[in-house]
Amino acid sequence: MSLPSPPPVSVSELNRKAKSLLENQLGEVCVEAEIGDLSKPSSGHWYFTLKDARAQLRCAMFRRANVRVRFQPKLGDSVVVRGLLSIYEARGDYQLIVDDMQASGDGALQRELEALKQRLQAEGLFASDRKLPVPIHCERIGVITSPTGAAIEDIISVLGRRSPSSEIALFPVPVQGSGAAQQIADAIDKANTLVAENIRTIDVLIVGRGGGSLEDLWSFNEEVVARAIARSNIPIVSAVGHEIDYSIADLVADVRAATPSQAAELVTRDTEEWLQHIDSQAAQLNMLVQRKLAAQQASLAHLKARLRHPRHRLNLIREQLKSARDRAALLIQQRLTRERQIVNQIRRDLRAVSPTMITRKQKDTVARLHQQLPSLIAAVLNRQTDRVMHLTQLLTSLGPASTLERGYAIVTSVNEGVVRDSKTVSVDSEITIRLHRGGMTSVVTETHDEPKPA
């Protein structure tokens, strides 16, 4: 009995599945081999094979990737490539899509370079907060490079054109080969020592060289150079290689220049630019001076308008003094008048209370009273006589005799005296009755609270 066969698929579907499986399972790979069958069509893409003694591998490196390659590969070159394994579905070709290519010797150097970068970055040597500011214009420039290379010639040319007054202190060193890195680091330390001991003045250091391969530039990728740059107290501009080259020295330096020529431009200002700046500052200064002079002239004119001859001031003071003297005299006269009035009033008051005046007034009073006394005594006697007569008449009309004469009687008892209330006498008691003429004695036979009606 045969096993069931899988369902059939199209070639396109099979190639698609194989491509997906290959890309997802293996992913990115790195291969070292020799180039064979190299093709560079007008599209800009590269097609080639990698081979060793027993096998070969089709490769494609598209234009967007191969523009970053720093050398021109040729048949027979030994290279290290990195890329993604895939399948070209249209033909079912198994191939490597290359993203990066290094010469075989450079590959090891590149890996070493990446490891050193990661370690120095972890230590903070690339941090921006530790970088020193570079002056806008430097008059004393230290250059650490080869005395016979193109770099120093480019720097001298640029400075001669832009800033002829700038001084160059060359610290000659080899820029590649065995021991070059240590000599570069020693030159950086020497420049700092000269500045620290006040032997020389250096505003900035340019450290670099012209372009070359990774191996040529390797001295500027070594740790000893990186640490010398990091401990420098002089600002350092790194100018290593060409614009596409980026070394560890570039990352540690305070400023990175793409080329030595650009480094010379970064640390100086062009003479024409200085002259324009000076002209601008001079024009601004002249404007400020003119403005200040105008302000001072206006102030002077104002002060002149306020300034008068001392005679005017003396005349004014004299007038003020005369006015003050007249006013003082008036005030004194007014004060004397008030004081004189007060004195006169006091005199009148004293005269009014003097013994002579009091005695005179008393004499006048006594004389007047002496004259008025007889008439006053007669008036008092008349008033008193009239009053006595009036009281006598009143007493007579109100006295007992008059009352008895009008028919009233006075009743007395032996024990009670004048009887005013019937309750004070008892029946059979003896009472005496006084009349206007004569009287009588009677015995009480009956008493009443109220008189009986007539």
Q: Is there a domain that residue 96 lies in?
A: yes
Task: For the beta carbon of residue 70, count every other beta carbon within 10 angstroms.
Answer: 16
| CA dihedral (66, 68, 72, 75) positive or negative | negative
Joined tokens for residue 330: 């008036």
Please state, in angstroms and rounded to a whole number, the distance separating the CA atoms of residues 214 and 49: 24
Q: Is there a domain that residue 298 lies in?
A: no
Q: What is the CATH number of the domain that holds 37?
A: 2.40.50.140
Q: Cα Rg for the chain, rounded, in angstroms?
A: 73
Q: Is there a domain that residue 394 lies in?
A: no
If one counts the domains in the chain, the total is 4
* Eight-class DSSP state of 407: T
Same structural domain, 199 and 245: yes
Q: What is the pLDDT of residue 284?
A: 87
Please state, in angstroms and rounded to a whole number, the distance separating the CA atoms of residues 70 and 215: 12
Same structural domain, 50 and 172: no
Question: Which residues constitute the domain of residue 155?
Answer: 131-267
Joined tokens for residue 446: 């009956």
Alpha-carbon torsion, ordered 420, 421, 425, 426, to 10 deg: 160
Q: What is the CATH number of the domain that holds 175?
A: 3.40.50.261
Between helices 104-123 and 223-230, what is the axis angle to 10°? 30
Same structural domain, 358 and 409: no
Task: For the beta carbon of residue 431, count every other beta carbon within 10 angstroms.
Answer: 16
Q: Which of 64, 71, 75 is nearest to 101 (CA)?
A: 71
Q: Is there a domain that residue 302 lies in?
A: no
Same structural domain, 138 and 256: yes
pTM of the model: 0.46
Residues facing 410 on adjacent strands: 434
Q: Is there a domain that residue 303 lies in?
A: no
What pairing do the DSSP bridges indicate for beta strands 28-39 and 78-88? antiparallel
Q: Cα-flanking dihedrals φ and ψ of residue 180, to 5°? A: -65, -40
Same structural domain, 107 and 136: no
Same structural domain, 353 and 410: no
Please state, in angstroms and rounded to a whole number, the distance separating the CA atoms of residues 126 and 229: 11
Q: Is there a domain that residue 177 lies in?
A: yes
Same structural domain, 143 and 261: yes
Q: What is the pLDDT of residue 24?
A: 67
Same structural domain, 255 and 145: yes
Q: Is there a domain that residue 305 lies in?
A: no
Same structural domain, 213 and 327: no
Same structural domain, 40 and 70: yes
Ordered per-residue pLDDT tens for the chain, 454 residues:
455 667 776 767 766 777 777 666 677 888 888 888 899 999 999 999 998 878 888 999 999 999 888 788 888 888 888 888 888 877 878 888 899 888 776 556 667 778 888 899 899 988 989 999 999 888 999 999 999 988 899 999 998 888 888 899 999 999 988 899 999 999 999 999 999 999 999 999 999 988 777 777 888 989 999 999 999 999 999 998 765 557 889 999 999 998 899 999 999 887 677 677 777 888 888 888 888 888 888 888 888 777 767 777 788 888 888 888 889 889 999 998 998 999 888 888 887 777 777 788 888 888 888 888 888 888 888 888 888 888 888 877 777 777 777 778 888 887 768 877 777 787 878 888 888 788 888 888 888 877 655 5
Q: Cα-flanking dihedrals φ and ψ of residue 100, to 5°? A: -145, 145
Please spell the DSSP secondary structure of 336-389, one letter per residue.
HHHHHHHHHHHHHHHHHTSHHHHHHHHHHHHHHHHHHHHHHHHHHHHHHHHHHH
Q: Is there a domain that residue 384 lies in?
A: no
Please state, in angstroms and rounded to a whole number, the distance separating the CA atoms of residues 19 and 31: 19
Same structural domain, 140 and 236: yes
Same structural domain, 135 and 105: no
C-alpha distances in Å from residue 18, one per residue of 61, 241, 275, 300: 21, 44, 70, 97
